[in-house]
């Protein structure tokens, strides 16, 4: 059975990544692609790398016949997303890739995103889209909130460790390095090749990055108490990839055992042997996440490193994984593409 798919906001990177992945999915058919300012254009004009595909012309959202849509990926900007999703007919399953439905508590949402939520009922209903930890809820959800790409990476490291209580909750530092596509296809000076290439720097330092909202919500829930981590993202001169280095207080062997057990049956999360560490280079353009644990020379401290591709496992690949679950497909369908190296 072929599922009819719409992608709203198809002119951005996560939209294009969805099309790339769905292109070889055997049971999905893209029936609508929207892009407000580029409505009327062919997708091949916006993304020439998709030229070989037979895709619908870009349209405005209100031109889409949602009766003929089974599932809708929403890759719109934050704040816009909630307005659009609120107006969708109730029969359409929705995966939102924006930040709009990640935070369940309206007050927390307001704190991190600076305003009242426009669709509070949906906010409560939405299921958090970190597949490996919300699998059952996702299967039955109508609305799934894709996670932040940094938030996903940090959680692959920390969720099992917090759940198992093998680390000190008051000393968790996450130093994260991400490629530039996470910032989207937006025209900002610091995203220019001439400004970024051959340079790297930290940003949103000191606890101001919005993905902390997700960390706080999820980790506190798991721990049964408030957990506040330190988190510093860095922009590095690469297009895809997130490398997260976590500094934790805990026994490295216990940390490794916990992660190995947690992900033993997961198709996309690979835990390396103790003492080895991953590289973003080895997960590029794939839905895999590699995790490594190394003991520090200081007893009782460990370093855990995670690598994934922000556009795939961190965003559009995760979304497709969730879509498979929501549509009754095998979770891995269309997602077993090997990483591209070199």
Of the residues 74, 149, 178, 289, which is catalytic?
A: 149
Residue written as token pair 């209903």: 125
Nearer to a copy of itself, 3 or 290 (CB): 290
Beta-strand relationship, 301-308 and 242-249: antiparallel
Nearest approach in angstroms of CB 134 to a copy of itself is 22
If you compute the radius of gyration of the chain from its CA atoms, what whole number of angstroms results?
19
Q: Which two tokens stand for residue 245?
A: 């280095």
Closest CA to 275 of 253, 244, 290, 306: 253
Nearest approach in angstroms of CB 75 to a copy of itself is 15
Task: Give the C-alpha separation, 162 to 43, whole Å.
Answer: 44
Nearer to a copy of itself, 166 or 238 (CB): 238
What value, to the nearest 5°, has the Cα angle with vertex 109 and ends 268 and 249? 55
Q: Please answer whether residues 318 and 129 qualify as being in contact, where contact means their C-beta atoms are separated by less than 8 angstroms.
A: yes
229: Cβ contacts below 8 Å, ≥ 6 apart = 154, 158, 172, 173, 174, 212, 215, 219
Closest CA to 27 of 1, 58, 60: 1
Nearest approach in angstroms of CB 250 to a copy of itself is 13
Nearest approach in angstroms of CB 145 to a copy of itself is 24
Nearest approach in angstroms of CB 72 to a copy of itself is 21
Nearer to a copy of itself, 126 or 157 (CB): 157
Nearest approach in angstroms of CB 90 to a copy of itself is 32
Nearest approach in angstroms of CB 55 to a copy of itself is 11
Closest CA to 210 of 102, 94, 81, 74: 102
End-to-end CA distance of the chain: 36
Task: Give the C-alpha separation, 272 to 16, whole Å.
Answer: 31
Task: Give the C-alpha separation, 210 to 219, whole Å.
Answer: 15
- Buried-exposed string 252-291: b where 16+ CB fall within 10 A, e elsewhere: bebbbbbbbebbeeeebbbbbebeebbebeebbbbbbbbb
Nearer to a copy of itself, 71 or 180 (CB): 180
Nearer to a copy of itself, 41 or 173 (CB): 173
Would you call 59 a catalytic residue per the annotation?
Answer: no
Task: Give the C-alpha separation, 69 to 72, whole Å.
Answer: 7
Backbone phi, psi, residue 321, to 5°? -60, -45
Q: Which two tokens stand for residue 337?
A: 């593409």
Element housing 25 (H / E): none
Backbone phi, psi, residue 132, to 5°? -65, -20
Q: Which residues are identified as catalytic? A: 149
């Amino acid at each position: 059975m072929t599922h009819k798919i719409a992608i709203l906001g198809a002119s951005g990177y996560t939209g294009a990544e969805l099309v790339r992945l769905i292109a070889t999915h055997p049971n999905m058919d893209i029936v609508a692609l929207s892009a407000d300012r580029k409505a009327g254009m062919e997708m091949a004009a916006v993304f020439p790398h998709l030229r070989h595909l037979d895709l619908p012309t870009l349209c405005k959202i209100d031109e889409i016949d949602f009766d003929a849509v089974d599932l809708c990926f929403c890759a719109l900007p934050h704040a816009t997303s909630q307005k659009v999703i609120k107006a969708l007919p109730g029969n359409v399953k929705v995966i939102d890739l924006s930040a709009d439905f990640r935070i369940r508590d309206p007050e927390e949402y307001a704190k991190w995103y600076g305003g009242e939520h426009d669709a509070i009922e949906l906010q409560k209903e939405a299921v958090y889209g970190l597949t490996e930890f919300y699998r059952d809820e996702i299967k039955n959800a109508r609305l799934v909130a894709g996670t932040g790409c940094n938030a996903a990476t940090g959680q692959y490291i920390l969720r099992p460790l917090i759940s198992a209580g093998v680390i000190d909750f008051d000393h968790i530092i996450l130093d994260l390095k991400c490629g530039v596509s996470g910032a989207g296809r937006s025209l900002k000076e610091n995203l220019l090749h001439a400004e970024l290439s051959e340079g790297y720097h930290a940003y949103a330092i000191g606890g101001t990055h919005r993905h902390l909202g997700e960390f706080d919500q999820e980790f506190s829930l798991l721990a049964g108490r408030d957990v506040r981590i330190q988190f510093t993202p860095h922009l590095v001169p690469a297009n895809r990839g997130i490398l997260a280095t976590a500094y934790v207080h805990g026994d490295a062997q216990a940390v490794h055992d916990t992660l190995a057990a947690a992900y033993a049956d997961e198709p996309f999360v690979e835990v390396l042997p103790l003492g080895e560490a991953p590289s973003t280079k080895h997960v590029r353009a794939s839905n895999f996440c590699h995790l490594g644990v190394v003991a520090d020379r200081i007893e009782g401290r460990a370093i855990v490193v995670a690598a994934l591709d922000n556009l795939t496992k961190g965003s559009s690949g995760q979304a497709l994984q969730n879509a498979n679950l929501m549509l009754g497909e095998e979770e891995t369908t269309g997602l077993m593409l090997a990483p591209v190296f070199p």
